[in-house]
Amino acid sequence: MKKSFRPLIPALLAGMVLAPASLAQDRHSTQQAEFQVQTFTEGLEHPWALAFLPDGRMLVTERPGRLRILESDGTLVPDLVPGTPDVAARGQGGLLDIALHPDFENNRLIYISHSISGGNGMTTAVSRARFEDDRLENLERIFTAEPFSGATRHFGSRLAFDRDGYLFITVGDRGEKDRAQDIDDHAGSLIRLHDDGSIPEGNPFTDRDDARPEIFSYGHRNPQGLTLHPETGVLWEHEHGPRGGDELNIPEKGLNYGWPVITYGMAYSGGTIGEGTEKEGMEQPLLHWTPSIAPSGMAFYDGDHFPEWRGDLFVGALAMTHLTRLEIEGEEIVDEERLLEDRGQRIRDVRSGPEGYLYVVIDDSDAEILRLVPAE
């Protein structure tokens, strides 16, 4: 069982042509490095995720259901990417995460998580397609979380490939917390699949009739951060708590991460949830944020422009509107620093760019993508 840890620092639309980023910037001094914030692009509507193409361009999802292309200089291409899946853009749902296949340069496959509607409500789904000639072709759905729900929140939806080529998908508890302890229900779990959506034989519950064979770990509330450590290849995950109790975990096969039986958070009404903060057979988080920062998006920095940050983990915060930088030794958090607090912006995604800059996706109806560069 992992040791619990408290942080060391308390707790526009299609058709409009946008010019390249003005690169207006402001300077920040931090514990480890000085950086400037550039407005890389703007005019996005609730962007959710960013992915880097090998040719230097980027793909960005907008929650209402649009996939956009950014040129390498930040110019937002006016035309929408055709061929995107139908989405149910209600509540917290819509077009959400995006990930490139590890062999994208050869197979051109991309993966998109999104919410869909069905006869019994909504759920999380993942579709894949070929990205050819700036459009999506041969779109197919490879995963649908079952069962559907009338709720419009907690879709999870982060995507990540590990070094063995497995696709991991987070699915939230849909706001129906007891579902996270039911392994015959995809809600509140981390899913592991082959790249075509088939189920790996090594998944922990494939031999049980009372479980969903796609589940890798369970007892998660609403996981919206998922990334690989650039050196070890270990998968890291974070999730929203209620009032407090946001968690950072290293999910392992078949393990139960406790929600809602154990949590460091409390109900929005102020009451208690579950049986306390620990229970045998349930995992402790590496770190928990109390009060809640509402973490969303997460990336290890592995570039050259900020050698002081190499190996640090960056986490966006929606509620506390900042960027958290975590220093890590092995699997231990040794320091935490909060950046960009003065801007008061909800951070939805964080990505370490291939050229060594750090990109920060803002969640707003008229949103920016920021780029962190070394101070001049």
The residues that are catalytic are 154
Provide CB contacts within 8 A for 106, sequence distance 6+.
none
CA 184 to each of CA 123, 209, 211, 294: distance values in angstroms, whole numbers, following the listed order: 15, 9, 4, 27
How is residue 217 written in tokens? 């770990």
Residue pair 142/193 in contact by the 8 Å Cβ criterion: yes
Amino acid making up residue 234: V
Collapsed DSSP state (helix, strand, coil) of residue 8:
coil
User: What is the length of the chain?
Assistant: 376
DSSP 347: E
- Residue 285 neighbours by CB distance under 10 Å: 26
**CA atoms within 13 A of residue 281's CA, in its CB half-sphere:** 3
Q: Please give the Cα distance from 118 to 147 (Å, whole number).
A: 10
Residue pair 95/63 in contact by the 8 Å Cβ criterion: yes
Residue pair 346/362 in contact by the 8 Å Cβ criterion: yes
